[in-house]
């Protein structure tokens, strides 16, 4: 009977195991294999060893530009996303009449297509768009949202934050709703105000979900491509203002057909994200131990 149940269990999980092997493990292994080859999809592969990695770190100036832009973009996305997510989650974590409607409105960007919302924002960012019209009504001159390299990265960060805040809010709101109400009642009896209760009770008890939001936001920012492509095109313009690692990967893989070089870049991005995740998890665990 035990063997029969074991065979039945393997039969049930076999399709999922096969799907993981075919659509996850094989592409990962094949991309690692490709990173040591030169291939343009048409001619036979040619083994080049670590030349792709040597070129990436030693002779490609665009890699440093993409790395710098991605770092700035990640920081300018991470801080507002976490900050606004905390504020919105705390505001929605109340028992008020009609709070369900406000929660629904706050979560709407989460279900919108990234490309569709980027196209809408592109119209808002035009020289005679809604944002510049509103600024003109306030006596402020038009802002070159998508025509100036520095402002283009700011515009991309705004769109990404708008898209990322609802996810962060969902996670943080669920965590806040799991905090025992008795702790807040005891703090009120001791005379603690709303801010004191938030920083002394809420934040320490949602440190795990908050760390998860940090990691996911960093991963999504480093891997950003679709919103950058839809907002400023696939060239990372204007000039190199929005030339991110995702745009660089797309260009070399599907624009220049340098599949091996693009695979090497993909594994470098994976290594950076892996290290950042380990550092964040270690810091989170150290904070929990100190508590």
pLDDT tens digits for 99-131?
Answer: 777 777 777 777 777 778 888 898 899 888 889
Alpha helices per DSSP H over 127-225? 130-137, 149-177, 181-189, 194-197, 203-205, 207-222
pLDDT at position 128 is 84
Angle at 115 (CA atoms; ends 209, 108), nearest 5 degrees? 50
* Residue corresponding to tokens 């294999």: 33
From residue 189, alpha-carbon distances to 182, 198, 202 in Å are 11, 15, 17
pLDDT tens digits for 12-64?
Answer: 999 999 998 999 899 999 999 999 999 998 899 999 999 999 999 988 999 99
Decide which of 1.10.3720.10, 3.40.50.300, 3.30.70.141, 3.40.50.11540 is the CATH code for 52-283.
Answer: 1.10.3720.10
- pLDDT grade, residue 151 (50/70/90)? very high
State how far the Cα of 280 lies from the Cα of 291, in Å rounded to an integer: 17
pLDDT tens digits for 52-101?
Answer: 999 999 889 999 999 999 999 999 999 999 999 999 898 888 776 667 77
Return the domain boundaries, the chain: 52-283
CB 242 within 8 A of CB 98: no
CB 248 within 8 A of CB 222: no
CB 247 within 8 A of CB 232: no
pLDDT tens digits for 180-233?
Answer: 989 988 998 888 888 898 889 999 889 889 989 999 999 999 989 988 898 888
- pLDDT grade, residue 291 (50/70/90)? low
- pLDDT grade, residue 290 (50/70/90)? low
Local structure of 267: helix, strand or coil: helix
pLDDT at position 191 is 87
Burial 66-95 (b: 16+ CB within 10 A, else e): bbebbeebbebbbebbbebbbebbbebbee
What is the separation, in whole angstroms, between the first and last Cα of the chain? 48
Strand-pairing partners, residue 38, are 46
pLDDT tens digits for 231-287?
Answer: 888 888 888 899 999 999 999 999 999 999 999 999 999 999 999 888 888 877 776
Once rounded to an integer, what is the mean pLDDT over residues 163-173?
A: 90
State how far the Cα of 205 lies from the Cα of 148, in Å rounded to an integer: 43
Reading phi first (left if > 0) and then psi (alpha if -120 to 50, else beta), residue 191 is in left
CB 142 within 8 A of CB 136: yes
């Amino acid at each position: 009977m035990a063997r029969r149940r074991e065979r039945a269990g393997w039969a049930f999980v076999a399709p999922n195991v096969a799907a993981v092997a075919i659509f996850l493990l094989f592409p990962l292994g094949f991309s690692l294999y490709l990173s040591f080859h030169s291939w343009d999809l048409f001619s036979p592969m040619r083994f080049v060893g670590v030349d792709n990695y040597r070129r990436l770190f030693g002779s490609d100036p665009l890699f440093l530009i993409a790395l710098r832009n991605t770092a700035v973009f990640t920081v300018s996305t991470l801080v507002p996303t976490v900050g606004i997510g905390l504020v919105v989650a705390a505001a929605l974590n109340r028992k008020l009449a009609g709070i369900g409607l406000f929660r629904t409105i706050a979560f709407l960007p989460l279900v919108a297509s990234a490309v569709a919302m980027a196209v809408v924002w592109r119209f808002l960012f035009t020289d005679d768009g809604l944002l510049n019209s509103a600024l003109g009504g306030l006596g402020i001159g038009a802002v070159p949202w998508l025509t100036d390299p520095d402002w283009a990265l700011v515009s991309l960060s705004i769109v990404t934050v708008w898209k990322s805040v609802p996810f962060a809010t969902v996670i943080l709101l669920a965590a806040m709703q799991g905090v025992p109400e008795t702790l807040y009642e005891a703090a009120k009896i001791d005379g603690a105000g709303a801010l004191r209760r938030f920083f002394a009770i809420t934040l320490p008890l949602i440190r795990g979900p908050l760390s998860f939001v940090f990691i996911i936001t960093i991963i999504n920012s480093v891997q950003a491509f679709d919103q950058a492509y839809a907002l400023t095109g696939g060239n990372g313009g204007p000039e190199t203002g929005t030339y991110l690692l995702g745009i660089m990967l797309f260009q070399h893989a599907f624009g220049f057909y340098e599949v091996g070089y693009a695979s090497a870049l993909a594994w470098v991005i994976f290594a950076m994200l892996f290290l950042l995740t380990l550092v964040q998890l270690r810091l989170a665990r150290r904070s929990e131990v100190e508590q």
